Each structure stands twice: as C-alpha cells, then as structure tokens.
Structure 1
Amino acid sequence: MKVILVKDVEGWGTLGDIIDVKPGFARNYLIPKGFAYPATEGYVKHVQDILNQKARKLEKQKQEAEKIAQQIDGLELDIPRPVGPTGKMYGSVSSADIVEAIKEKTGLEIDKKKIMLRNPIRDLGAYNITIRLHPEVSAKIKINIIPEEQ
C-alpha cells in the first residue's frame, strides 16, 4: 500500500515522502496516528501545498536573519564587569549578558540560544563570538570584557 507521510517517521522517511508499506501497518499504525495519508491525488496535492508553505516560511525566516546579520556582523561591544583587588573578575559573562549588550547598542532582540557560547566567560579580555541566527546565516561579533570603573 502506498502512503504519503505527513510527519517525519524514523526509519521510514520524512514529510512528503511516498512510501510503500504493508496494508496492516498503514491501516493500524501510520494512518490512525496521523503519520501518513493514503497516496491518493488529493492527499499528495495537499502535502505538496504544506511543503510549499513550509519552504516559503523558511525563506522568509532566512531573509529576516540575513537583515539582522548585516546589522550586527562585525559589531564590537564593551561589557564592564567588577573586578577584585587581584584583577580577577567577579562572576562571569553569559549569553544573556551578551544579548543585553546587543540590545542596548542596536535595539535588536536576539534569542540567547542563538549565541554560540560553550561556557560562560570568566576572564577579562577580547573574545570573538558567533551568533547563529538561522541554520544558514550567522554573524560574528567581538566583545571586550573590561574592568568596571569604581
């Protein structure tokens, strides 16, 4: 029996794939769970429409990410932090601190999950940070962690 997948099914395929499965598997599992429809002309056209909408949405998101990347690529930020008498920084600089600094300087709101920072920064100095705005679009910024003036 031929069915068209409307969701990704591990080991079988992804959205829009037309696969050939045993009739019992299709009737008892795939179709009742909403993973697939019978591969009739109407359902194939319906799934193609869904794929086209998804592609347009992804393209729009990519264009928006490219606009933001143009605005912040090469941006240099100074983030002041309190330091002790030995010159050691109190606390650390996290993704949320970087997002706040970008918002103060440019007015753009960026999700902190998009900042590629493995561990919080715990030392003074200059750091190059990558911001992945979209799977295909990223920007690089430079942050300077400086001592806070008393």
Structure 2
Amino acid sequence: MKVILTQEVSGLGTPGDVVEVKDGYGRNYLLPQGFGIRWSKGAEKEVVNIKRARGAREIRDLGQANEVKAQLEGLKVSLQVRAGDGGRLFGSVTPVEIVDAVKAAGGPSLDRRRLELPSAIKSIGSYPVKVKLHPEVTANFDVTVNRSK
C-alpha cells in the first residue's frame, strides 16, 4: 500500500514522503491516526503543499540548528503544576506543556513531536529533555517541575 505521510513517523519518513507500507500497518495505524493519507494521483498533488508547510516550520540548516541549540541549553525552563502531598502530580507533564514553558521562558518555538522524554514526568523535580532540531543536532535542557501555589 502506498501512503503519503502527513506527519513525521519515526523510522518511516517525514511529512510529504510517499512510502510503501504493509496493508495492515497503513489501514490500521497510519490512516486512522492521521499520520498519512492513501496515495492516489489526486493526492500526489497534495505532496507539494505538505512539503511547503513543512519547510515553513522546519529549521533551515545546520547553522540555524546550532543557534537554537545554544539558546535552548542556556535556558531555565520551569513548570508550575498541581501536585499531591508526596510530590506526585495529578496527571503528568505533556510535551505540549513543555513547549509552552520553553516559549514562556523566552526560548524558540519547538515542535512537540521532536521532544524526547526519557520517561513520563509524574512527580516534582528536575528532568532532562532532548530535542532533535536537525538530523545532526540534538539539544539537551532541563525542565524543573514545581508545585503550584
């Protein structure tokens, strides 16, 4: 089955790529999750639009990726969340909340799908976060989770 990816899928491709996948994987996972659309001649025309949108929000080159990395690594990111008596959170910290906290701390806007968390953040403390900015550049920074007042 041929599928046009609309979002980045780890190990498969980036938005706008036309990939050949097994029928079950495409039909049961990629299409229902919105990660891709079924390939057709009409859908092939959408590839140009998808790649143009990706180019608008993607980091252009290695130099820009290194600038963003330097900016992120010098940033102090903290989140205020509700927590119980033992420091355990009511829920967990999501990548969207981390991206919003980076922006609020004066950092660049990031794509939530490029964040790599070692595990779910479910208690108060400091956690390392990786961001894959470019195929050759990965930025590391810490997120401090505090109890809201």
TM-score for both structures, normalised by structure 1: 0.55
Structure 1: distance between partners of 2:60 and 2:131: 19
Does 2:62 align with 1:65? no
Corresponding position of 1:35:
none
When you count strand as a share of all residues, which structure comes out higher? Answer: 2
Q: For residue 113 of structure 1, report the CA deviation from its aligned partner.
A: 1.1
Report the number of matched residues: 97
Describe how 1:42-61 pairs up with structure 2 within 5 A: 60-61=60-61
| Preserved CA contact (<8 Å) 2:93 2:120 | yes
Corresponding letter in the other structure for 1:95? P
Corresponding position of 1:48:
none
Structure 1 residues 46-68: Cα deviation after superposition (integer angstroms, max 9, x where no partner)? xxxxxxxxxxxx99422221121
Q: Which runs of 4+ in 1 moved over 4 A?
A: 7-10
**1:111 and 1:9, CA in 2 relative to 1: closer, same or farther beyond 3 A?**
closer
For the residue of structure 1 that corresponds to 2:143, the secondary structure is strand
Identical-pair percentage: 28
Corresponding position of 1:147:
147
Q: For residue 120 of structure 1, report the CA deviation from its aligned partner.
A: 2.8
Unaligned residue ranges in structure 1 (runs of 5+): 1-6, 11-57
TM-score for both structures, normalised by structure 2: 0.56
**1:63 and 1:148, CA in 2 relative to 1: closer, same or farther beyond 3 A?**
same
- C-alpha RMSD of matched pairs (Å): 2.8
Corresponding letter in the other structure for 1:70? A
For the residue of structure 1 that corresponds to 2:144, the secondary structure is strand
Larger Rg belongs to = 1
**1:81 and 1:9, CA in 2 relative to 1: closer, same or farther beyond 3 A?**
closer
